[in-house]
Structure 1
Amino acid sequence: MLQHLHLHERLVCSSCKGELVQSSDTYLQCRRCRATYTIESRYVSMLDRREQDDRPFDWNRKEGEIRDYSEISNSLALSGIGRFATFLNYGYVSSGNEQHAVVEPVDVWNRNSVKLLLEVVGRTAIRGRDVIDIGCGRGGNIAALHKYFKPQSTVGLDICPANIAYCSAKSRPTESFYLVGDAENIPFADESFDVVLNIESAHAYPNRKRFYEEAYRILRYGGVFLYTELMLEEEAAQNVRLLEEAGLSVIRNQDVTSNVLLSCDENAKQRTGAQGIANDANASRNIGDIHDFIALPGSKKYEEMKAGKRQYRMMNLVKRYPCFTNDNNLV
């Protein structure tokens, strides 16, 4: 289970970053703090459940996210389209503003979602690099990275076990390593990755500052953080400040709300169709306002984007070398 490429060598305790030992066929344990993690049949769970007692309010939010995405995974499986639904992002449609993608998706499922990934990657060098997708969902981003850019290795980390089980079942063992984990407590050693990817996930993290610090910690010097998020207008400047305080330098910060709205318009027909998630009775009952969750036209989230109250920001940030300024070797 842990023989995936060289990635298991960089795995550490989520909480204290101590060395892990395999105490049995089903458990890993930290030598330092004695935290225990479970080895499932298809993945490793690196959630330290002791945090539930230490931070109950934060864990209630996280458990809510796990329930929502588990329900989505179940609904997609029952609908018969689960194997095609590898993306859950809003997507991107080109318009008159500046474009950054160096390749275009052709004849692909989920074209708008792939386009969103390609836009945030832009000219960032991926080939031969070690990449982690935090909040990887159903693995669409990682599959597209291998198709278009040929990274050396990829890790997918998500807090929802249903997502990771799905990804692990579809992935080739030599290609990617998926595990259950918390974005605020990333279970990898310092400077493990050249590229950190985070698409439409950070809004669900109770402690944004802690996530940014973790992204900085696991990046190698010269590495790039590729980041998109739908945020309230008044949060945009605050998030940039927190990113810079974590040690990251902003090299691109683009408002692409208009492109995302165009994609929401295009996606609406599919998502409200007979097999669309918006018409799934179980998802609607268990997730609450499913229309707002996927930003259908007319939903609160969609209308707030349209009115400028929410902005979809696309950012590239770099972990600069401490003693040099000309260090954008990955950008």
Structure 2
Amino acid sequence: MNEMKRPADSAWACPRCKQTLEKREFSLYCGVCLQGYRLAEGGIPCLLSNGAGRESDEYWEQKEAVKEMFTSFNRALEENGVSRFSSFMNWGYAEATEGGCSAKGVNEQSLRLLREIMDGVKVQGSDVLEIACGRGGNVRSLCKSYQPRSVAGIDLTEANIAFCHASNRYEYAYFCIGDAEELPVADECFDIVLNIEASDLYPRIRLFYDEVFRILKPGGMFVYADDLDARKFEEGERYLEELGFETVRSRDISEQALLASDLARGNRIAALDGAIAKDDAIWGTMGVPGTSLYDDMRTGKRRYKILHMKKKA
């Protein structure tokens, strides 16, 4: 494997022009775009472009709504005293043959989901980027169990990254506040790009796919798992193949995700009970039984799939 510098060293790049950033005392600076980017508490890079004049107001309003939603989610966990136990934000995975019992550990279904998603992917010695890393559960698990060379996590929500940074125990794990559709990463930096249950929130999902292709090394693997409208998934797979990806694995796990949601319903509601109104947007993203997200997957309108897409060398 080549000796590229890892993101924490200097490979974070300007989100606009993708050029190397100059580190200053309290900021990072792009000598090409002449843009400065602040360092959040703990020295965390905040590499969000203002995007002035390049997208509609509606586009940026959607971005702000996502940040507000997950900031509220973090606040609710804090208020209910369960923040330190809540490092995952996903459906989970369960098999009917396992007896229909609730998970043995707090995060067992989420850990099982990650194992299913990463099955067959060579992680050892690789440089991994998780886009939309949430509260860092996947990054932590990859570091603990998969022996990567480095793992970087990017998320749009500052509260998520602050939690990741505060709870990080691995010297080769790094975090950055950034946008999936405008990644602050140089070309062909990563062996593996991971994205789980986030892309349906991207206003222009093809920008995200373009960015993933750009930052992966030739022969690198895009490990993608999400619950999307069935037609949107089909269109996305076709577009990824047109970009130059080869489908290595495609697996539908809708039934397993629904069962995991059934089993975890009580814990999820208890974690947020009283801190977030039942009509808040965050409930609709959790896949709790009774939400339209859950119902659409039950009827087949939405599907949960795992894709392994290899960038052609």
Q: Any residues of structure 2 matched to 1:75-224 within 5 Å, and which?
A: 75-95=76-96, 108-172=105-169, 174-224=171-221
Offset at residue 95 of structure 1 (A): 4.4
Q: Match of 1:327?
A: none
Offset at residue 26 of structure 1 (A): 1.3
Offset at residue 35 of structure 1 (A): 1.9
Q: Any residues of structure 2 matched to 1:227-266 within 5 Å, and which?
A: 227-266=224-263
Offset at residue 292 of structure 1 (A): 2.5
Specify the SS of the correspondent of 1:272.
helix
- 2:148, 2:225 → 1: CA distance? 20
Specify the SS of the correspondent of 1:284.
coil
Offset at residue 179 of structure 1 (A): 0.6
2:246·2:312 contact (CA, 8 Å) conserved in 1? yes
Q: How many residues align?
A: 301
- Matched to 1:38, the amino acid is R
Any gaps of 5 or more consecutive residues in structure 2?
98-102
- Taking a change above 3 Å as real, the CA distance of residues 154 and 247 of structure 1, as seen in their structure-2 partners, is same
Q: Match of 2:284?
A: 292
| TM-score normalised by structure 2 residue count | 0.92
Q: Match of 2:274?
A: 280
Q: Among the aligned pairs, what percent are the same residue?
A: 32
- 1:260, 1:191 → 2: CA distance? 32
Offset at residue 107 of structure 1 (A): 6.2
- Matched to 1:74, the amino acid is R
Q: Match of 1:67?
A: 68
- 1:297, 1:219 → 2: CA distance? 36
- CA RMSD across the alignment: 1.7
Offset at residue 58 of structure 1 (A): 1.3
| TM-score normalised by structure 1 residue count | 0.87
Q: Match of 2:100?
A: none
Q: Match of 2:59?
A: 58
Q: Match of 1:19?
A: 20
Offset at residue 151 of structure 1 (A): 0.7
Task: Give 1:270's match in structure 2, choosing from 267, 270, 276.
Answer: 267
1:52·1:59 contact (CA, 8 Å) conserved in 2? no
1:36·1:48 contact (CA, 8 Å) conserved in 2? no
Offset at residue 250 of structure 1 (A): 1.1
Specify the SS of the correspondent of 2:179.
coil
- Taking a change above 3 Å as real, the CA distance of residues 149 and 165 of structure 1, as seen in their structure-2 partners, is same
Any gaps of 5 or more consecutive residues in structure 1?
97-105, 322-331
